[in-house]
């Protein structure tokens, strides 16, 4: 009992010390450490915000076993860039056509940020964003991938994503019967 109490106190002091720091250290699945501003982490990621509030942040690096170092680097990079960027008027104003209303268009810097990523890195980042509950980053990355499908024929989409066509001829014919108008290459 006594020992337990002592432990609890130590925990308390550790938490207090932690609360004073303004960065958090994140550890990728392959053991690399990254620092990110606590404020940005809490604002952009619901999961990190929860962990910070719940005191389950580790000084020596909070283990994120689901995220590889490359993806985590991008996450941290995004957090830092986001902290530095001033939200543009477009992001603040809500009067966008209802076609796109719930999804705000990516900002210029966000576009550049995802444009430079390889496919591999992009898919990793989508998963990391989902994992960490980073709504905006998920938005931006999903938008980027959807743009890679836009205006393309099924063949072209397969080429872009290196997808094997495992449809049977009959199955494809069935769709084309109903929806021939949707195919550019008809």
Partner 1 sequence: MVGRDVFLELDCVMVIKMLKEKGTNRSLVAPIILDMDREKSCPKKISFKKEDAGNHAVACRGGRSSAGSLDAPPGGANYGKCASPASSSSVRSRKRKSSRAVVVARPPEEVKTASRVVRRRRGNSKSSAAAVRGRHISSLCDDLLLQIFLRLPSVATLIRAACTCPAWRRAMSSSPDFRRRFRSLHPSPLLGLFTSDTSDASSIVAAFVPALPHGSRPDDDDLAAAVRGGDFSLPNAAGGGGGWRLVTNSCQFGNLLLYNRQDKSHAVINPYSTRRSEGQRHLLVSRNMTGRYFAAAVLSSSSRSRLMLLDNALSKMKATIFAMETGKVCSATPWVDIPACPDQVDGRVPCGRICVQSNGSVYYLCENWGYIASIDTSTMGITVVELPPQCVSRGSLAKVGETKDGETCLVYSDGRDVGVLNLMHTRGDDVQKWVLDRVVSMDAELRRVLPAGQFDARVCVLTVMAVRDGYVYLSISVTLPDSYWLLSLCLATMKLEKLFQGAYGGRTGISYIMPWPRSLIGW
The residues that touch partner 1, with contacts defined as CB under 8 A, are 29, 46-47, 50-51, 54, 56, 58, 62-66, 68, 97-103, 119-120, 123-124, 126-127, 130-131, 133, 135, 138, 142-143, 145-146, 149-154, 157-158, 161-167, 171-172, 174-175, 177-184
Give the integer Cα–Cα distance in Å for 174 and 179. 9
Give the integer Cα–Cα distance in Å for 183 and 186. 6
Nearer Cβ to partner 1, position 39 or 127?
127
Identify the burial level of 6 via C-beta atoms within 10 angstroms of its C-beta, where 0-12 means exposed, 13-18 middle and 19 or more buried.
Answer: exposed
Nearer Cβ to partner 1, position 31 or 84?
31
Min dist CB 127 to partner 1, Å, is 6
List residues bridging with 63 in a β-sheet: 27
Residue 85 is classified by DSSP as: S
Nearer Cβ to partner 1, position 44 or 51?
51
């Amino acid at each position: 009992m006594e020992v337990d109490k002592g432990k609890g106190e130590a925990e308390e002091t550790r938490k207090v010390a932690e609360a004073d720091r303004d960065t958090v250290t994140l550890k990728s699945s392959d053991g690399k450490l990254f620092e990110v501003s606590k404020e940005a982490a809490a604002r952009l990621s619901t999961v990190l915000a929860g962990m910070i509030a719940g005191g389950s942040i580790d000084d020596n690096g909070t283990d994120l076993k689901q995220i590889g170092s490359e993806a985590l680097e991008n996450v941290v990079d995004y957090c830092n860039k986001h902290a530095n960027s001033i939200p543009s008027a477009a992001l603040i104003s809500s009067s966008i056509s209802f076609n796109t209303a719930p999804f705000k268009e990516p900002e210029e810097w966000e576009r550049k940020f995802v444009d430079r990523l390889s496919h591999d890195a992009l898919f990793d980042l989508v998963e990391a964003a989902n994992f960490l509950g980073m709504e905006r980053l998920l938005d931006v990355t999903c938008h980027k991938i959807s743009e890679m499908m836009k205006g393309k024929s099924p063949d072209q989409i397969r080429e872009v994503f290196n997808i094997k066509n495992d449809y049977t001829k009959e199955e494809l014919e069935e769709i084309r019967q109903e929806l021939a108008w949707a195919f550019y290459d008809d």
